[in-house]
């Protein structure tokens, strides 16, 4: 089963702490729909520009111009550029954690759970290459509270993989399972750095199938030998 990474909305709460909010209901008016669309356009533009140039090289005005949102209208959605970075990185970390939990809850056994987790993470790496680049390069630019949230979500995500690997092989040591999980992320998350644009859509190259076969073989063979 493949779980899609839903783009839930996260807003800054009082005191600067980031608080996730449920995905909004369908807008009841054209005005509210336009506002929602502009916010989504700003997020998409920020993701693209920050991935291309780096966080420090992008101005909030650049993001607004790329999204077709100019002047004071930008600040109705985000108070500053930092808030957009928080939206991107806390958002994807939280979505990954929620999606992994959904995969495991829906799986009938540990083998199915592992298969589903690999599919799910591949969906992320092949579908969100810009976010991987931003996380690798610009995580340090998050404010401390947001960085702690990202790190906590990442640790919880790792532990989901550790639990599944150990359920699949109860002789596997916890430290070994954690090492295997991190090695898996290293393999899969490096994909956006080496794939040519559009490679996932060509008949000649099928990186999803190749990466899944490699990952499953590595994890299951290591598990048997552990």
Among 119-128, 141-150, 198-207, whose mean pLDDT is lowest? 198-207
- pLDDT of 191: 80
For residues 86-96, average pLDDT = 97
Q: DSSP letter at 3? A: -
In this model, does residue 104 exceed pLDDT 80?
A: yes
Better pLDDT: 181 or 69: 181
Q: Is residue 185 part of a domain?
A: yes
Q: Are residues 63 and 150 in the same domain?
A: no
- pLDDT of 29: 75
Q: Are residues 41 and 114 in the same domain?
A: no
Q: Find the CATH number of the domain harbouring 97.
A: 1.10.357.10
- pLDDT of 23: 47
Q: Are residues 74 and 124 in the same domain?
A: no
In this model, does residue 100 exceed pLDDT 70?
A: yes
Q: Are residues 69 and 85 in the same domain?
A: no
Q: Give the C-alpha distances (Å, rounded to integers) separating 75 from 176, 190, 223.
A: 47, 35, 51
Q: Find the CATH number of the domain harbouring 58.
A: 1.10.10.60
Q: Is residue 175 part of a domain?
A: yes
Structure tokens at 36: 């929602």
Q: What is the residue range of 105's domain?
A: 81-223
| Number of folded domains that form the chain | 2
């Amino acid at each position: 089963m493949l779980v899609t990474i839903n783009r839930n909305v996260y807003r800054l709460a009082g005191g600067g702490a980031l608080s996730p909010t449920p995905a909004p209901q369908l807008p009841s008016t054209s005005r509210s729909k336009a506002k929602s669309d502009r916010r989504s356009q700003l997020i998409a533009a920020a993701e693209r520009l920050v991935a291309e140039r780096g966080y420090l090289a992008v101005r909030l005005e650049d993001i607004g111009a790329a999204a077709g949102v100019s002047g004071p209208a930008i600040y109705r959605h985000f108070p500053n550029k930092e808030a957009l970075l928080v939206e991107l990185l806390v958002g994807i970390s939280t979505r990954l954690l929620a999606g992994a939990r959904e995969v495991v809850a829906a799986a009938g056994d540990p083998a199915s759970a592992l298969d589903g987790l690999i599919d799910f993470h591949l969906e992320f790496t092949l579908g969100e290459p810009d976010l991987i680049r931003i996380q690798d390069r610009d995580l340090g630019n998050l404010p401390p509270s947001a960085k702690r949230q990202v790190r906590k979500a990442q640790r919880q995500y790792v532990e989901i993989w550790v639990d599944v690997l150990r359920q699949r092989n109860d002789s596997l040591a916890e430290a070994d399972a954690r090492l295997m999980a991190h090695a898996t992320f290293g393999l899969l998350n490096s994909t956006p750095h080496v794939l040519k644009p559009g490679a996932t859509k060509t008949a000649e190259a099928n990186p999803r199938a190749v990466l899944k076969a490699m990952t499953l073989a590595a994890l299951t063979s290591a598990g048997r030998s552990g």
